[in-house]
Amino acid sequence: MASKAIQESQGAGLSARSYLLQSKSAISRGIIVLNNFGKNRFRPGWVEVIVGCMFSGKTEELIKQMHRAEYAKQSCQVFKPQIDARYSVDHVASHSQKQLKATPVESAHELLALVERHTQVVGIDEGQFLGPELVDVVSTLADAGKRVVIAGLDTDWRGRPFGPMPNLLAIAEVVNKQYAICMVCGEPATRTQRLVAATEDILVGSNDAYEARCRLHFDPELSVRIGSHQEHHAQA
């Protein structure tokens, strides 16, 4: 028995591809069970996280996943933090203008209260803004048999893990890391470079305030230097 368990755990570590295939098969099984939500005492929900820097297509991936669930006649709800008024108050919008109707919420607890019992798939955009309690809320929803898909920035403009995202990555069954293209060298980008003065942590939306950078070309001090330069000029 013990050697079988060891073989299985070694097998899981052998290939990312075989692990991914296992995850996919788990997802298909989950969808079948979710269709029986309410009839079955065994309700395996799960958590999927879509992360990356700005311009990596996270919201587009979320929109794609939600549309696929809708085509399959699954009952879906999408939420986004109130703070993200980038393009629309009650839609999720990607930079490429694709849209999906979304309910704005001020907190993760408000989100939890708004999820309906029959909902099978819960989508959340800009999860990094919903605070540390999002982790418990997402677990509660998955424990109740729902598929929860969260898109968000994994790091902030300083390159540090952003809000609840690192903990969500830890508890997720499925992690989808998206890459943008570095605006300096064209290699895959994982960091969000801030191009304007550092005045506050949250600056939502404006495309020209940020660009995607790779690790080599990411410069978290840039916006601090711009800030002190502007201050110097204002005093002069």
Q: Which residues are catalytic?
A: 126
| Pick from 156, 158, 170: nearest CA to 126 | 156
> Whose Cβ is closer to Zn ion: residue 79's or residue 210's?
210
Q: How far apart are CA 10 and CA 174, in angstroms?
A: 19
How many residues sit close enough to Zn ion to count as binding (CB under 5 A)? Answer: 6
**Cβ contact 194:218 at 8 Å:** no
Least Å from the CB of residue 186 to Zn ion: 7
Name which position in 217, 222, 224, 226 contacts Zn ion (CB under 5 A): 217
Asked if residue 219 binds Zn ion (CB under 5 A), the reply is: no
Q: Which range binds Zn ion by CB under 5 A, 32-40, 156-164, 186-194, 198-206?
A: 186-194
Asked if residue 124 binds Zn ion (CB under 5 A), the reply is: no
Asked if residue 204 binds Zn ion (CB under 5 A), the reply is: no
Neighbours of 205 (CB within 10 A): 13
Asked if residue 171 binds Zn ion (CB under 5 A), the reply is: no
For residue 173 the two structure tokens come to 């069954």
Q: How far apart are CA 156 and CA 192, in angstroms?
A: 7
For residue 133 the two structure tokens come to 């309690």
Sequence-distant (6+) residues with CB within 8 A of 183 are 189, 193, 211, 212, 213, 217
Q: Which range binds Zn ion by CB under 5 A, 52-60, 71-79, 185-193, 197-205?
A: 185-193
Asked if residue 98 binds Zn ion (CB under 5 A), the reply is: no
Q: Which range binds Zn ion by CB under 5 A, 71-79, 128-136, 137-145, 180-188?
A: 180-188
> Whose Cβ is closer to Zn ion: residue 38's or residue 186's?
186
Asked if residue 183 binds Zn ion (CB under 5 A), the reply is: no
For residue 154 the two structure tokens come to 């994994």
Name which position in 50, 66, 214, 223 contacts Zn ion (CB under 5 A): 214
Name which position in 51, 66, 121, 182 contacts Zn ion (CB under 5 A): 182
> Whose Cβ is closer to Zn ion: residue 46's or residue 210's?
210
Least Å from the CB of residue 158 to Zn ion: 18
For residue 188 the two structure tokens come to 């895959």
| E-assigned strand segments in the chain | 46-52, 76-81, 91-93, 99-101, 103-105, 121-124, 147-153, 174-177, 180-181, 188-189, 191-194, 210-213
| Chain contacts with Zn ion (rule: CB under 5 A) | 182, 184-185, 187, 214, 217
